[in-house]
Amino acid sequence: MKNTPLTEKHISLGAKMASFAGYNMPISYAGIKEEHKCVRENVGVFDVSHMGEFIVKGREALDLIQKVTSNDASKLAIGQAQYSCLPNSEGGIVDDLLIYRLDEDQCAEGEQAYMLVVNASNIEKDWEWINKHNDFDTRLINISDQTALLAVQGPNAAQVLQSLTDVALDDLAYYTFTKGEMAGIPNVLISATGYTGSGGFELYVDQEQALALWEAVFKAGEAQGIQPIGLGARDTLRLEKGYCLYGNDIDDTTSPIEAGLGWITKTKKGEFISRDIFIKHRQEGVSRKLVAFKAEGRRVPRQGYTIEDENGKGIGKVTSGSLSPSLEIPIGMGYVTKELSKVGTKIWISVGRKRLEAEIVKAPFV
């Protein structure tokens, strides 16, 4: 099991630790509900250094990215980021990822540079997949083991971080980024992104500087009541916003059109992997759709539970489920047949001998 540069820090803080994507990661500190509320209402810090980072650099860097990703990266200006996915050859999803258009200071004339940020569980798979399709004048560099990542999330994130940098954080629009000094550490990539739906920033830094940055951020946020946040609250936060989690809501067998990710599937941009399949999905429709639902009672619908219609016929599966800390009711997502995917439709979740009544709703939940 791998460690991040902050693993020992988490242990010293009394975090509940567990294996996640092959890393020893903090699941919770004070408790998921308290940590969730802290991010929604104040500011919290996640160690997400287990994520993978690839540099794509060369004269045809954009051509490679356009081939292997579904979104249109040609729209990116330097300093902008984009959410996208890596389609496989059968219309499924190898991974979802972020694409950063980097400056060209370290590039030769005519070259461009990008950073791809991928899920920890898929680093090796994604690396092999992209390299397999790299028949361009482009170099790939895996910097995952040299890069640490802190996600400082919540409505008060900018207030805490501004004291540590001269970068005007309020001027960083959503899904833009810059490089600057943070807490005396040079060349920190400061990104106005995150997967909580509560605003904030993600800070990419050399692993050797990770602990110093962590300590500085907590010192700056001490009066604000900043807290360390584990992966448990990260999951409930993203679920309340209806964000997909790879391995749960999307995987190698799910189409982005089925998953409601048509907005990152730009079939008019030109050729890319599985483009023809996605065009067909749009023209002919898909047989199932990912939906959000609220359930009655307090029982939590879990991944893999069968979703049924009123007659007890199976119509799909739950992909994510939790007790919403904000709403204090069970919520979830899952795939159901297209005919029964409309908002307002009543569904039932099979839990052993019991059936939980639920209703399809429009995401986000909060």
274 pLDDT more than 90: yes
302 pLDDT more than 90: yes
Note the pLDDT of residue 327.
97
pLDDT in tens, 237-267: 999 999 999 999 999 999 999 999 999 999 9
106 pLDDT more than 90: no
SS3 49: coil
353 pLDDT more than 90: no
Cβ(44)–Cβ(229) below 8 Å: yes
345 pLDDT more than 90: yes
167 pLDDT more than 90: yes
Note the pLDDT of residue 65.
98
- Name the residue with tokens 């219309």: 91
Query: Residue 129 has which token pair?
Result: 């997949």
- For β-strands 44-47 and 227-228, DSSP reports them as parallel
pLDDT in tens, 172-212: 999 999 999 999 999 999 999 999 999 999 999 999 999 99
**Span 258-281, average pLDDT:** 98
158 pLDDT more than 90: yes
Note the pLDDT of residue 175.
98
SS3 363: coil
Domain with CATH 3.30.1360.120 in the chain: 1-284
Classify 116 in phi/psi space as left (phi over 0), alpha (psi -120 to 50) or beta: beta
Hey, what CATH topology would domain 287-361 get? Answer: Elongation Factor Tu (Ef-tu); domain 3 (2.40.30)
| Distance of alpha carbon 26 from alpha carbon 17, whole angstroms | 4
Using the 8-state DSSP alphabet, how is residue 252 labeled? T
Note the pLDDT of residue 105.
84
The band of 78, judged by pLDDT with boundaries at 50, 70 and 90, is very high
Query: Residue 313 has which token pair?
Result: 């016929």
126 pLDDT more than 90: yes
pLDDT in tens, 25-49: 999 999 999 999 999 999 999 999 9
Note the pLDDT of residue 66.
98
Q: What is the mean pLDDT of the chain?
A: 97
The percent of the chain in helix, strand and coil, each rounded to the nearest 5, is 25, 35, 40
Exposure on the CB side of residue 189, measured as CA atoms within 13 A: 25
Domain with CATH 2.40.30.110 in the chain: 287-361
SS3 20: strand
107 pLDDT more than 90: no
Exposure on the CB side of residue 1, measured as CA atoms within 13 A: 9
Q: List the CATH code of the domain at 1-284.
A: 3.30.1360.120
Note the pLDDT of residue 121.
96
Nearest to 348 by CA among 296, 302, 298, 303: 296
